Amino acid sequence: MGETSIDLRRRTGNGAAMSILSGHARVAGIAGWPVTYSRSPRLHGFWLQRYGVDGAYIPLPIKASEFAVAIRGLVAAGFAGANVTIPHKLAAFAICDEVDASAHRAGAVNTLMFREEKVFGSNTDGYGFVANVRAHGIDPTAGPALLLGAGGSARAVAAALQDAGTKVTVANRTAERAEALARDLPGLRVVDWNQRVAALSDHALVVNATPLGMVGHEALDLDLSNSPLDLVVADNVYVPLETPLLSAARAQGLRTVEGLGMLLHQAVPGFQAWFGVEPTVDEELRRFMVADLPMR
């Protein structure tokens, strides 16, 4: 009828398109301190655009001392839920009215769903890790996995690998923390941090679940020169995309799994719960996210 179509989107400072919301819009976000470096708003923003969702996903800078009161405020304000990142994953577990098995096994929560004034917690990091390994065409149950680190993400990854049927070994700088993890996850083996290179020969997969190799951190010291030729090397660090560990593994001809995919896959269950669409992780999304990351 000759109507003029109006572009209801405008551009944010970083060039991303932003939709105009209705009064029915669903709202979620990411709670962290600091939260300025989080890639989750970019990731969820991409999917909101792709699926034309009447919704928003925003950064929520919340200090540790304000966490519980801020989350109750989000519930009262009608938010659909939130992701939780450093330093709140343990605090999030504590404030939930109910947690699922993934959160219970990890002892930490990264995804909150708000329903009828109640807070439900889940931990999707382990799911994201396993889904990412599979998306690289690698079977995470092909053989035992050696996990380096025993912090929050290592717990989630260890639990998810065990749930998939993989035998897991942990090496951590602070031995007590690895032993505590072994108490919580029966069947998990512990090796000394200084034995991590020797332990590679008994494993099909090695995972860096420490911040070593991340921008601003030293590289992980892991000599791969005598490792089995079929060893798969996974790095949960994704800033930079190509960590020194991944470069070293590729130089040895080993198969690698980059950490960005874990971030993308862990976000799927939350997006589906908050916005009612199961989003797809694909090459277009990966390219969009890579454009905002340092390569090395």
| Catalytic-residue membership of 63 | no
- Give the shortest CB-252-to-ligand NAP separation in angstroms: 22
Query: Which residue in the list 63, 89, 118, 167 is annotated as catalytic?
Result: 89
Binding of residue 270 to ligand NAP (CB under 6 A)? no
Binders of ligand NAP among residues 30 to 59 (CB under 6 A) are none
The CB-nearest residue to ligand NAP is: 151
> Shortest Cβ distance from residue 46 to ligand NAP (Å)?
16
Yes or no: say if 174 and 144 are a contact pair by the CB < 8 Å rule.
no
Under the binding rule (CB under 6 A), the answer on residue 125 touching ligand NAP is yes
Q: Which residue has the tokens 């200084």?
A: 194
CB distance 187 to 164 below 8 Å: no
**Of 77, 114, 59, whose CA–CA distance to 92 is shortest?**
114
The letter for the amino acid at 48 is L
Q: Which of 109, 262, 281, 289 binds ligand NAP (CB under 6 A)?
A: 262
Using the rule CB under 6 A, which residue among 104, 136, 177, 255 binds ligand NAP? 177
Considering only 35, 185, 188, 237, the residue that binds ligand NAP (CB under 6 A) is 237
Contact flag: residue 258 with ligand NAP (CB under 6 A): no
With CB under 6 A as the contact rule, the residue among 27, 35, 48, 209 that binds ligand NAP is 209
Tell me the closest approach of the beta carbon of residue 73 to ligand NAP, in angstroms. Answer: 25
Asked if 214 touches ligand NAP (CB under 6 A), the answer is yes
Q: Does 211 interact with ligand NAP (rule: CB under 6 A)?
A: yes
Question: Which of these, 146, 138, 206, 204, lies nearest to 170 by C-alpha position?
Answer: 146
Answer yes or no whether residue 153 interacts with ligand NAP by CB under 6 A: yes
| One of 151, 167, 197, 255 touching ligand NAP (CB under 6 A) | 151
266 is a site residue for ligand NAP (CB under 6 A):
yes
Q: Indicate whether 115 belongs to the interface with ligand NAP (CB under 6 A).
A: no
Residues classed as catalytic: 89
- Which positions lie near ligand NAP, rule CB under 6 A? 125, 128, 149-154, 172-174, 177, 209-212, 214, 236-238, 259, 262-263, 266
